Structure 1
Amino acid sequence: MPPQNTQPKYRQIAEYLREGILNGTYPAGQPLPSEETLAKQFGVTRPTVRQGLTELRASGLVEVIMGRGTFARSPQTRPSHTRPRGIRRTPDGGYVEADGIRWANAEPPVATRTDAPLALADLLRIPPGEPMFTYDALQTADNGRLRQLHRTYVPFSVLIDTKYEEEAPPPAPELYAALGDLGHELHFTEYIRTRMPLPDQAQALRLPEGVPLLHITRVTLTATEKPLALEEFHLPGDDLELSFRL
Protein backbone atom coordinates (compact mmCIF):
# COMPACT_ATOMS: atom_id res chain seq x y z
CA MET A 1 0.00 0.00 0.00
CA PRO A 2 1.58 3.34 -1.05
CA PRO A 3 2.31 5.80 1.77
CA GLN A 4 -0.37 8.39 2.33
CA ASN A 5 0.53 11.92 1.21
CA THR A 6 0.41 13.99 4.39
CA GLN A 7 1.23 17.30 2.71
CA PRO A 8 -1.44 20.01 2.79
CA LYS A 9 -3.72 19.86 -0.22
CA TYR A 10 -2.55 23.20 -1.62
CA ARG A 11 1.03 21.93 -1.60
CA GLN A 12 0.00 18.68 -3.29
CA ILE A 13 -1.57 20.77 -6.05
CA ALA A 14 1.57 22.89 -6.36
CA GLU A 15 3.80 19.79 -6.57
CA TYR A 16 1.53 18.15 -9.15
CA LEU A 17 1.62 21.21 -11.39
CA ARG A 18 5.34 21.83 -10.82
CA GLU A 19 6.15 18.28 -11.95
CA GLY A 20 3.92 18.68 -15.00
CA ILE A 21 5.62 21.93 -16.00
CA LEU A 22 9.13 20.52 -15.55
CA ASN A 23 8.46 17.26 -17.43
CA GLY A 24 6.70 19.00 -20.32
CA THR A 25 3.15 17.85 -19.61
CA TYR A 26 2.29 21.54 -19.48
CA PRO A 27 4.59 23.28 -22.01
CA ALA A 28 5.62 26.88 -21.47
CA GLY A 29 2.96 29.30 -22.66
CA GLN A 30 0.17 26.73 -22.45
CA PRO A 31 -2.77 27.14 -20.05
CA LEU A 32 -2.93 25.03 -16.91
CA PRO A 33 -6.12 23.23 -15.84
CA SER A 34 -8.75 25.62 -14.55
CA GLU A 35 -9.29 26.24 -10.84
CA GLU A 36 -12.61 24.38 -11.09
CA THR A 37 -10.96 21.34 -12.70
CA LEU A 38 -8.19 21.19 -10.09
CA ALA A 39 -10.67 21.67 -7.25
CA LYS A 40 -12.68 18.64 -8.43
CA GLN A 41 -9.54 16.56 -9.07
CA PHE A 42 -8.17 17.11 -5.55
CA GLY A 43 -11.50 17.40 -3.72
CA VAL A 44 -10.85 20.90 -2.42
CA THR A 45 -12.27 24.39 -2.69
CA ARG A 46 -11.07 26.95 -5.24
CA PRO A 47 -9.32 29.08 -2.57
CA THR A 48 -7.14 26.04 -1.78
CA VAL A 49 -6.28 25.74 -5.48
CA ARG A 50 -5.36 29.44 -5.57
CA GLN A 51 -3.05 28.92 -2.59
CA GLY A 52 -1.18 26.24 -4.54
CA LEU A 53 -0.95 28.48 -7.60
CA THR A 54 0.42 31.29 -5.42
CA GLU A 55 3.37 29.03 -4.50
CA LEU A 56 4.11 28.44 -8.18
CA ARG A 57 3.81 32.14 -9.01
CA ALA A 58 6.31 32.97 -6.29
CA SER A 59 8.79 30.48 -7.81
CA GLY A 60 8.24 31.88 -11.32
CA LEU A 61 6.71 28.73 -12.78
CA VAL A 62 3.29 30.12 -13.65
CA GLU A 63 1.88 33.41 -14.87
CA VAL A 64 -1.68 34.56 -14.26
CA ILE A 65 -3.14 36.71 -17.04
CA MET A 66 -6.33 38.48 -16.04
CA GLY A 67 -9.29 37.31 -18.04
CA ARG A 68 -7.35 34.50 -19.75
CA GLY A 69 -6.21 32.07 -17.06
CA THR A 70 -3.01 30.60 -15.62
CA PHE A 71 -0.13 29.70 -17.93
CA ALA A 72 2.99 27.59 -17.51
CA ARG A 73 6.47 29.12 -17.55
CA SER A 74 9.21 26.50 -17.91
CA PRO A 75 12.76 27.25 -16.67
CA GLN A 76 14.16 25.13 -19.53
CA THR A 77 12.60 27.25 -22.28
CA ARG A 78 14.93 29.54 -24.20
CA PRO A 79 14.04 33.22 -23.74
CA SER A 80 12.26 35.01 -26.57
CA HIS A 81 14.79 37.86 -26.59
CA THR A 82 18.58 37.74 -26.85
CA ARG A 83 20.35 41.07 -26.40
CA PRO A 84 24.07 41.51 -27.09
CA ARG A 85 25.81 43.56 -24.43
CA GLY A 86 28.52 46.13 -24.96
CA ILE A 87 29.21 49.55 -26.45
CA ARG A 88 30.60 50.37 -29.89
CA ARG A 89 31.93 53.55 -31.44
CA THR A 90 30.20 55.05 -34.45
CA PRO A 91 32.08 56.59 -37.39
CA ASP A 92 31.27 60.08 -36.09
CA GLY A 93 32.88 59.30 -32.73
CA GLY A 94 29.68 58.66 -30.80
CA TYR A 95 28.77 55.65 -28.68
CA VAL A 96 25.85 53.25 -29.17
CA GLU A 97 24.70 50.10 -27.41
CA ALA A 98 25.65 46.84 -29.08
CA ASP A 99 22.02 45.66 -29.19
CA GLY A 100 21.11 48.60 -31.47
CA ILE A 101 17.88 49.26 -29.58
CA ARG A 102 16.74 52.88 -29.65
CA TRP A 103 15.43 53.69 -26.19
CA ALA A 104 13.11 56.61 -25.50
CA ASN A 105 12.78 58.22 -22.08
CA ALA A 106 9.25 58.27 -20.69
CA GLU A 107 10.15 61.68 -19.23
CA PRO A 108 13.26 63.86 -19.70
CA PRO A 109 15.78 62.84 -16.99
CA VAL A 110 16.64 65.60 -14.51
CA ALA A 111 19.92 65.79 -12.62
CA THR A 112 19.60 65.42 -8.85
CA ARG A 113 22.28 65.33 -6.19
CA THR A 114 22.77 62.11 -4.22
CA ASP A 115 25.49 60.99 -1.83
CA ALA A 116 27.45 57.87 -2.81
CA PRO A 117 26.40 54.78 -0.79
CA LEU A 118 29.14 52.42 0.30
CA ALA A 119 28.67 49.82 -2.47
CA LEU A 120 28.77 52.37 -5.30
CA ALA A 121 31.58 54.35 -3.67
CA ASP A 122 33.66 51.17 -3.68
CA LEU A 123 33.13 50.65 -7.43
CA LEU A 124 33.81 54.32 -8.18
CA ARG A 125 36.78 54.45 -5.77
CA ILE A 126 35.48 57.55 -4.04
CA PRO A 127 34.75 58.20 -0.35
CA PRO A 128 31.30 57.08 0.81
CA GLY A 129 29.00 60.07 0.93
CA GLU A 130 30.71 61.98 -1.89
CA PRO A 131 28.07 63.96 -3.83
CA MET A 132 27.14 62.75 -7.30
CA PHE A 133 24.97 63.92 -10.16
CA THR A 134 22.26 61.29 -10.60
CA TYR A 135 19.76 60.77 -13.43
CA ASP A 136 16.83 58.34 -13.38
CA ALA A 137 14.87 57.29 -16.46
CA LEU A 138 12.17 54.79 -17.36
CA GLN A 139 13.01 53.86 -20.94
CA THR A 140 10.87 52.10 -23.52
CA ALA A 141 11.35 50.72 -27.02
CA ASP A 142 9.40 48.79 -29.66
CA ASN A 143 6.18 50.75 -28.96
CA GLY A 144 6.49 50.16 -25.23
CA ARG A 145 6.95 46.38 -25.46
CA LEU A 146 10.50 46.64 -24.10
CA ARG A 147 11.11 48.48 -20.83
CA GLN A 148 14.11 49.19 -18.64
CA LEU A 149 15.06 51.42 -15.73
CA HIS A 150 18.31 53.33 -16.26
CA ARG A 151 20.22 55.34 -13.68
CA THR A 152 23.43 57.36 -14.27
CA TYR A 153 25.83 58.48 -11.52
CA VAL A 154 28.68 60.98 -12.04
CA PRO A 155 30.84 61.87 -8.98
CA PHE A 156 31.47 65.58 -8.45
CA SER A 157 35.20 64.87 -8.06
CA VAL A 158 35.40 63.66 -11.68
CA LEU A 159 34.23 67.08 -12.88
CA ILE A 160 36.68 69.31 -10.99
CA ASP A 161 38.45 71.81 -13.29
CA THR A 162 36.02 71.13 -16.16
CA LYS A 163 33.08 73.12 -17.51
CA TYR A 164 30.80 70.73 -15.64
CA GLU A 165 31.73 72.37 -12.36
CA GLU A 166 29.23 75.05 -13.39
CA GLU A 167 26.64 72.90 -15.20
CA ALA A 168 25.39 69.35 -14.89
CA PRO A 169 26.88 66.84 -17.34
CA PRO A 170 24.48 64.96 -19.63
CA PRO A 171 23.25 61.48 -18.66
CA ALA A 172 24.57 58.40 -20.45
CA PRO A 173 24.91 57.64 -23.32
CA GLU A 174 25.49 61.33 -24.19
CA LEU A 175 27.80 61.37 -21.17
CA TYR A 176 30.35 59.22 -23.02
CA ALA A 177 30.92 61.84 -25.71
CA ALA A 178 31.15 64.55 -23.04
CA LEU A 179 33.83 62.58 -21.18
CA GLY A 180 35.65 61.95 -24.45
CA ASP A 181 35.66 65.67 -25.15
CA LEU A 182 37.41 66.13 -21.80
CA GLY A 183 40.28 64.04 -23.15
CA HIS A 184 39.42 60.63 -21.67
CA GLU A 185 39.84 57.36 -23.57
CA LEU A 186 36.91 55.31 -22.33
CA HIS A 187 36.64 51.67 -21.36
CA PHE A 188 33.72 49.86 -19.73
CA THR A 189 33.20 47.04 -17.24
CA GLU A 190 29.81 45.48 -16.48
CA TYR A 191 28.64 43.48 -13.48
CA ILE A 192 25.46 41.39 -13.80
CA ARG A 193 23.32 39.79 -11.13
CA THR A 194 19.70 38.90 -10.51
CA ARG A 195 17.45 39.89 -7.64
CA MET A 196 13.77 40.29 -6.92
CA PRO A 197 12.38 43.74 -7.78
CA LEU A 198 11.21 46.35 -5.33
CA PRO A 199 7.47 47.08 -5.63
CA ASP A 200 7.95 50.32 -7.60
CA GLN A 201 10.37 48.58 -9.98
CA ALA A 202 7.94 45.71 -10.59
CA GLN A 203 5.20 48.24 -11.35
CA ALA A 204 7.34 50.34 -13.71
CA LEU A 205 8.57 47.28 -15.63
CA ARG A 206 5.17 45.53 -15.51
CA LEU A 207 6.64 42.41 -13.97
CA PRO A 208 4.37 39.52 -12.99
CA GLU A 209 4.73 38.17 -9.47
CA GLY A 210 7.78 35.93 -9.03
CA VAL A 211 9.79 37.42 -11.92
CA PRO A 212 13.31 38.60 -11.02
CA LEU A 213 15.26 41.58 -12.32
CA LEU A 214 18.46 41.55 -14.29
CA HIS A 215 20.55 44.16 -12.50
CA ILE A 216 23.44 45.40 -14.66
CA THR A 217 26.03 47.79 -13.28
CA ARG A 218 28.27 49.47 -15.85
CA VAL A 219 31.39 51.39 -14.82
CA THR A 220 32.98 53.82 -17.27
CA LEU A 221 36.76 53.99 -16.84
CA THR A 222 39.76 55.79 -18.30
CA ALA A 223 42.62 54.02 -20.05
CA THR A 224 44.38 53.89 -16.66
CA GLU A 225 41.32 52.21 -15.06
CA LYS A 226 40.15 55.28 -13.15
CA PRO A 227 36.35 55.15 -12.74
CA LEU A 228 34.50 58.16 -14.15
CA ALA A 229 30.83 57.22 -13.95
CA LEU A 230 28.49 54.38 -13.09
CA GLU A 231 25.19 53.25 -14.56
CA GLU A 232 22.55 50.83 -13.34
CA PHE A 233 20.17 49.03 -15.70
CA HIS A 234 17.15 47.09 -14.40
CA LEU A 235 15.52 44.79 -16.95
CA PRO A 236 12.85 42.07 -16.78
CA GLY A 237 14.55 38.74 -16.14
CA ASP A 238 11.85 36.33 -17.28
CA ASP A 239 12.12 36.24 -21.07
CA LEU A 240 15.53 37.75 -21.80
CA GLU A 241 19.08 36.48 -22.11
CA LEU A 242 22.24 38.53 -22.61
CA SER A 243 25.06 37.63 -24.98
CA PHE A 244 28.71 38.74 -24.98
CA ARG A 245 31.44 38.46 -27.58
CA LEU A 246 34.67 37.31 -25.93
Structure 2
Amino acid sequence: MTTPAYRRLAADLRTAILDGTYPPNSVLPKLTDLAAQYGIAKDTVRQAVALLVEEGLVEVVRRRGTVVRDLPERQRLTRARQVFRDERGYFFDPAAQDWIALRPTGIGWGPAPRDVTVLLGVGPLEEVLHRGRLMGAPDNRPTQLATSYLPAAIARGTRLEQPDTGPGGIYDLLEHDLGHGPLSWHETISARMPAPDEAEALELPRGTPLLRIVRTATSPADVVVEVNDTLMSAAGFEIGYSVARDPSAAWPTGALGR
Protein backbone atom coordinates (compact mmCIF):
# COMPACT_ATOMS: atom_id res chain seq x y z
CA MET A 1 0.00 0.00 0.00
CA THR A 2 1.34 3.41 -1.00
CA THR A 3 1.87 5.84 1.86
CA PRO A 4 -0.13 9.05 1.33
CA ALA A 5 1.97 12.07 0.35
CA TYR A 6 1.04 14.05 3.45
CA ARG A 7 2.26 11.23 5.68
CA ARG A 8 5.55 11.00 3.81
CA LEU A 9 6.06 14.74 4.25
CA ALA A 10 5.09 14.55 7.92
CA ALA A 11 7.59 11.72 8.42
CA ASP A 12 10.41 13.77 6.84
CA LEU A 13 9.57 16.83 8.93
CA ARG A 14 9.22 14.75 12.10
CA THR A 15 12.66 13.25 11.57
CA ALA A 16 14.17 16.68 10.95
CA ILE A 17 12.57 18.02 14.14
CA LEU A 18 13.69 15.10 16.29
CA ASP A 19 17.28 15.11 14.97
CA GLY A 20 17.63 18.85 15.54
CA THR A 21 17.65 19.98 11.91
CA TYR A 22 14.73 22.17 12.98
CA PRO A 23 15.54 23.04 16.63
CA PRO A 24 12.98 24.26 19.19
CA ASN A 25 11.44 27.65 18.34
CA SER A 26 12.63 27.49 14.74
CA VAL A 27 10.16 27.97 11.89
CA LEU A 28 9.50 25.30 9.26
CA PRO A 29 9.64 26.30 5.58
CA LYS A 30 6.54 28.01 4.19
CA LEU A 31 3.71 25.86 2.91
CA THR A 32 4.30 27.04 -0.65
CA ASP A 33 8.01 26.20 -0.43
CA LEU A 34 7.33 22.69 0.90
CA ALA A 35 4.69 22.14 -1.78
CA ALA A 36 7.16 23.11 -4.49
CA GLN A 37 10.00 21.04 -2.95
CA TYR A 38 7.89 17.87 -2.74
CA GLY A 39 5.81 18.44 -5.84
CA ILE A 40 2.53 18.25 -3.94
CA ALA A 41 -0.48 20.48 -3.41
CA LYS A 42 -0.48 23.14 -0.72
CA ASP A 43 -3.49 21.46 0.93
CA THR A 44 -1.46 18.27 1.20
CA VAL A 45 1.23 20.21 3.07
CA ARG A 46 -1.45 21.57 5.38
CA GLN A 47 -2.51 17.97 6.16
CA ALA A 48 1.09 17.10 7.07
CA VAL A 49 1.42 20.12 9.33
CA ALA A 50 -1.93 19.35 10.98
CA LEU A 51 -0.63 15.87 11.79
CA LEU A 52 2.46 17.32 13.47
CA VAL A 53 0.29 19.76 15.40
CA GLU A 54 -1.82 16.87 16.72
CA GLU A 55 1.39 15.09 17.78
CA GLY A 56 2.43 18.17 19.74
CA LEU A 57 5.64 18.73 17.75
CA VAL A 58 4.74 22.09 16.20
CA GLU A 59 2.25 24.89 16.56
CA VAL A 60 0.95 27.35 14.00
CA VAL A 61 1.66 30.89 15.17
CA ARG A 62 0.03 33.84 13.44
CA ARG A 63 2.51 35.96 11.46
CA ARG A 64 5.35 33.53 12.18
CA GLY A 65 4.31 30.28 10.57
CA THR A 66 4.78 26.70 11.74
CA VAL A 67 6.99 26.84 14.84
CA VAL A 68 8.75 23.85 16.40
CA ARG A 69 7.62 23.51 20.00
CA ASP A 70 10.17 23.77 22.78
CA LEU A 71 9.21 20.72 24.81
CA PRO A 72 10.07 21.02 28.50
CA GLU A 73 12.35 18.53 30.18
CA ARG A 74 10.14 16.03 31.95
CA GLN A 75 10.07 16.11 35.73
CA ARG A 76 10.52 12.66 37.23
CA LEU A 77 7.87 11.54 39.70
CA THR A 78 9.02 8.49 41.62
CA ARG A 79 6.22 6.12 42.53
CA ALA A 80 8.01 4.39 45.40
CA ARG A 81 4.96 2.32 46.35
CA GLN A 82 4.92 4.26 49.60
CA VAL A 83 2.78 6.93 51.19
CA PHE A 84 4.56 9.78 52.99
CA ARG A 85 3.43 12.33 55.53
CA ASP A 86 4.34 15.86 56.57
CA GLU A 87 2.60 18.57 58.62
CA ARG A 88 -0.06 18.95 55.91
CA GLY A 89 -0.97 15.26 55.78
CA TYR A 90 -0.33 12.34 53.45
CA PHE A 91 1.37 12.71 50.05
CA PHE A 92 2.46 10.22 47.41
CA ASP A 93 5.24 11.95 45.43
CA PRO A 94 8.28 13.46 47.18
CA ALA A 95 8.82 15.63 44.09
CA ALA A 96 5.35 17.10 44.54
CA GLN A 97 5.57 17.78 48.25
CA ASP A 98 5.67 21.57 47.85
CA TRP A 99 2.79 21.82 45.36
CA ILE A 100 -0.07 24.03 46.45
CA ALA A 101 -3.71 24.56 45.46
CA LEU A 102 -4.00 27.27 42.80
CA ARG A 103 -7.72 27.81 43.26
CA PRO A 104 -10.38 26.90 45.83
CA THR A 105 -11.50 23.30 45.99
CA GLY A 106 -14.53 22.68 43.79
CA ILE A 107 -17.30 20.78 45.59
CA GLY A 108 -20.32 19.18 43.96
CA TRP A 109 -22.55 16.14 43.67
CA GLY A 110 -23.12 14.17 40.49
CA PRO A 111 -22.31 10.95 38.63
CA ALA A 112 -18.65 9.89 38.38
CA PRO A 113 -16.83 8.67 35.24
CA ARG A 114 -17.89 5.14 34.34
CA ASP A 115 -14.65 3.45 35.37
CA VAL A 116 -14.70 5.32 38.69
CA THR A 117 -18.24 4.14 39.48
CA VAL A 118 -17.03 0.56 39.05
CA LEU A 119 -14.21 1.15 41.54
CA LEU A 120 -16.60 2.82 44.02
CA GLY A 121 -19.18 0.08 43.62
CA VAL A 122 -21.99 2.51 42.84
CA GLY A 123 -24.51 2.72 40.02
CA PRO A 124 -23.60 4.56 36.79
CA LEU A 125 -25.99 7.46 37.49
CA GLU A 126 -25.66 7.47 41.27
CA GLU A 127 -24.58 10.78 42.79
CA VAL A 128 -21.18 10.87 44.47
CA LEU A 129 -19.26 13.73 46.01
CA HIS A 130 -16.74 15.45 43.72
CA ARG A 131 -13.80 17.35 45.23
CA GLY A 132 -11.71 18.96 42.48
CA ARG A 133 -8.38 20.74 42.93
CA LEU A 134 -5.93 22.40 40.56
CA MET A 135 -2.45 22.00 42.01
CA GLY A 136 0.68 23.88 41.05
CA ALA A 137 4.30 24.55 41.80
CA PRO A 138 5.27 27.50 44.05
CA ASP A 139 5.74 29.61 40.89
CA ASN A 140 1.99 29.13 40.17
CA ARG A 141 2.66 26.86 37.21
CA PRO A 142 -0.24 24.35 37.06
CA THR A 143 0.95 20.78 37.49
CA GLN A 144 -2.06 18.55 38.03
CA LEU A 145 -5.82 18.32 38.21
CA ALA A 146 -6.90 16.04 41.04
CA THR A 147 -10.51 15.01 41.64
CA SER A 148 -11.62 12.90 44.58
CA TYR A 149 -14.85 10.92 44.24
CA LEU A 150 -16.51 9.74 47.46
CA PRO A 151 -19.70 7.66 47.78
CA ALA A 152 -22.72 9.32 49.35
CA ALA A 153 -22.87 6.69 52.09
CA ILE A 154 -19.43 7.89 53.24
CA ALA A 155 -19.56 11.62 52.53
CA ARG A 156 -23.07 13.03 52.78
CA GLY A 157 -23.63 15.19 55.83
CA THR A 158 -19.96 15.22 56.83
CA ARG A 159 -17.11 17.75 56.64
CA LEU A 160 -16.08 16.06 53.40
CA GLU A 161 -18.65 18.35 51.77
CA GLN A 162 -16.75 21.43 52.97
CA PRO A 163 -13.88 23.01 50.96
CA ASP A 164 -11.64 22.97 54.04
CA THR A 165 -11.69 19.57 55.73
CA GLY A 166 -9.19 20.58 58.39
CA PRO A 167 -5.61 19.53 59.20
CA GLY A 168 -4.48 16.45 57.32
CA GLY A 169 -7.13 16.80 54.60
CA ILE A 170 -9.70 14.21 53.64
CA TYR A 171 -7.58 11.20 54.57
CA ASP A 172 -7.19 12.25 58.20
CA LEU A 173 -10.92 12.96 58.25
CA LEU A 174 -11.72 9.54 56.77
CA GLU A 175 -9.33 7.67 59.03
CA HIS A 176 -9.84 9.38 62.37
CA ASP A 177 -13.11 11.31 62.49
CA LEU A 178 -15.18 8.97 60.29
CA GLY A 179 -13.60 5.72 61.49
CA HIS A 180 -12.42 4.22 58.20
CA GLY A 181 -8.73 3.89 59.07
CA PRO A 182 -6.14 2.75 58.58
CA LEU A 183 -6.54 3.22 54.84
CA SER A 184 -4.64 1.35 52.16
CA TRP A 185 -4.09 2.57 48.61
CA HIS A 186 -3.75 1.15 45.11
CA GLU A 187 -2.80 3.01 41.91
CA THR A 188 -3.11 2.46 38.18
CA ILE A 189 -1.44 4.63 35.52
CA SER A 190 -2.76 5.20 32.01
CA ALA A 191 -2.81 7.92 29.36
CA ARG A 192 -5.42 9.76 27.32
CA MET A 193 -5.96 13.01 25.47
CA PRO A 194 -7.37 15.94 27.48
CA ALA A 195 -10.82 17.47 27.25
CA PRO A 196 -10.76 21.17 26.30
CA ASP A 197 -11.32 22.38 29.87
CA GLU A 198 -8.53 20.11 31.16
CA ALA A 199 -6.10 21.38 28.53
CA GLU A 200 -6.98 24.97 29.43
CA ALA A 201 -6.55 24.44 33.19
CA LEU A 202 -3.16 22.76 32.77
CA GLU A 203 -2.08 25.18 30.01
CA LEU A 204 -1.35 22.32 27.61
CA PRO A 205 -0.34 23.00 24.01
CA ARG A 206 -2.48 21.27 21.42
CA GLY A 207 -1.60 17.62 20.94
CA THR A 208 -0.29 17.05 24.47
CA PRO A 209 -1.55 13.85 26.12
CA LEU A 210 -2.27 13.36 29.80
CA LEU A 211 -0.91 10.94 32.34
CA ARG A 212 -3.82 9.62 34.38
CA ILE A 213 -3.18 8.21 37.85
CA VAL A 214 -6.22 6.62 39.48
CA ARG A 215 -5.79 5.83 43.17
CA THR A 216 -8.28 3.99 45.37
CA ALA A 217 -8.40 4.37 49.16
CA THR A 218 -9.76 1.28 50.88
CA SER A 219 -10.84 0.76 54.49
CA PRO A 220 -9.98 -2.31 56.61
CA ALA A 221 -13.54 -3.49 55.86
CA ASP A 222 -12.48 -3.68 52.18
CA VAL A 223 -14.72 -0.74 51.25
CA VAL A 224 -13.44 1.77 48.69
CA VAL A 225 -14.07 5.09 50.43
CA GLU A 226 -12.46 7.36 47.81
CA VAL A 227 -11.16 7.30 44.25
CA ASN A 228 -8.66 10.00 43.31
CA ASP A 229 -8.34 10.78 39.59
CA THR A 230 -5.17 12.80 38.90
CA LEU A 231 -4.32 14.27 35.48
CA MET A 232 -0.86 15.57 34.52
CA SER A 233 0.92 16.63 31.32
CA ALA A 234 2.66 13.64 29.72
CA ALA A 235 5.06 16.12 28.10
CA GLY A 236 6.02 17.61 31.46
CA PHE A 237 6.14 14.54 33.70
CA GLU A 238 7.23 10.93 33.62
CA ILE A 239 6.68 8.15 36.14
CA GLY A 240 9.73 6.37 37.53
CA TYR A 241 10.05 3.50 39.98
CA SER A 242 12.60 0.99 41.19
CA VAL A 243 12.50 -2.58 39.91
CA ALA A 244 13.12 -5.18 42.62
CA ARG A 245 14.28 -8.74 42.06
CA ASP A 246 11.76 -11.49 42.70
CA PRO A 247 13.27 -14.47 44.57
CA SER A 248 13.12 -16.38 41.26
CA ALA A 249 15.60 -13.83 39.84
CA ALA A 250 18.08 -14.01 42.75
CA TRP A 251 21.71 -13.62 41.69
CA PRO A 252 23.58 -15.79 40.85
CA THR A 253 20.79 -17.68 39.15
CA GLY A 254 22.75 -20.77 38.17
CA ALA A 255 21.80 -20.09 34.59
CA LEU A 256 24.79 -17.97 33.57
CA GLY A 257 25.68 -18.22 29.94
CA ARG A 258 22.17 -18.89 28.71
TM-score between both structures, scaled by the size of structure 1? 0.76
Shift in alpha-carbon separation, 1:204–1:93, aligned structure 2, 3 A? closer
Identity of aligned residues (%): 27
Shift in alpha-carbon separation, 1:110–1:9, aligned structure 2, 3 A? closer
Q: Does residue 1:168 correspond to 2:161, yes or no?
A: yes
Give, as a single letter, the amino acid of the residue that structure 2 aligns with 1:89. R
Between the aligned partners of 2:232 and 2:153, the Cα distance in structure 1 is 29
Using the TM superposition, give the Cα deviation of residue 34 of structure 1 relative to its aligned residue in structure 2, in angstroms.
2.3
Using the TM superposition, give the Cα deviation of residue 101 of structure 1 relative to its aligned residue in structure 2, in angstroms.
3.6
Match of residue 178 from structure 1? 173
Q: Does residue 1:108 correspond to 2:101, yes or no?
A: no
Match of residue 193 from structure 2? 196
Match of residue 55 from structure 2? 59
Q: Does residue 1:94 correspond to 2:86, yes or no?
A: no
Using the TM superposition, give the Cα deviation of residue 194 of structure 1 relative to its aligned residue in structure 2, in angstroms.
0.6
Using the TM superposition, give the Cα deviation of residue 170 of structure 1 relative to its aligned residue in structure 2, in angstroms.
5.4
Between the aligned partners of 2:69 and 2:45, the Cα distance in structure 1 is 15
* Contact persistence 1:152–1:171 (CA under 8 A): no
**Match for 1:217 among 214, 218, 229?**
214
Between the aligned partners of 2:126 and 2:92, the Cα distance in structure 1 is 29
Shift in alpha-carbon separation, 1:122–1:68, aligned structure 2, 3 A? same
107-116 vs 190-199, which moves further? 107-116
* Contact persistence 1:32–1:71 (CA under 8 A): yes
* Contact persistence 2:128–2:149 (CA under 8 A): yes
**Match for 1:71 among 49, 61, 68?**
68
TM-score between both structures, scaled by the size of structure 2? 0.73
How many residue pairs align between the two structures?
233
Shift in alpha-carbon separation, 1:235–1:63, aligned structure 2, 3 A? same
Give the secondary structure class of the aligned counterpart of 2:12: helix
Match of residue 3 from structure 1? none
**Match for 2:74 among 80, 90, 104?**
80
Give, as a single letter, the amino acid of the residue that structure 1 aligns with 2:68. F
Between the aligned partners of 2:155 and 2:132, the Cα distance in structure 1 is 19
Over 4 Å off, 4+ runs: 6-9, 43-48, 169-173
Which runs of 5 or more structure 2 residues have no equivalent in the other structure? Answer: 244-258
Match of residue 230 from structure 1? 227
Between the aligned partners of 1:73 and 1:210, the Cα distance in structure 2 is 13
212-221 vs 135-144, which moves further? 135-144
225-234 vs 236-245, which moves further? 236-245
Using the TM superposition, give the Cα deviation of residue 221 of structure 1 relative to its aligned residue in structure 2, in angstroms.
1.2
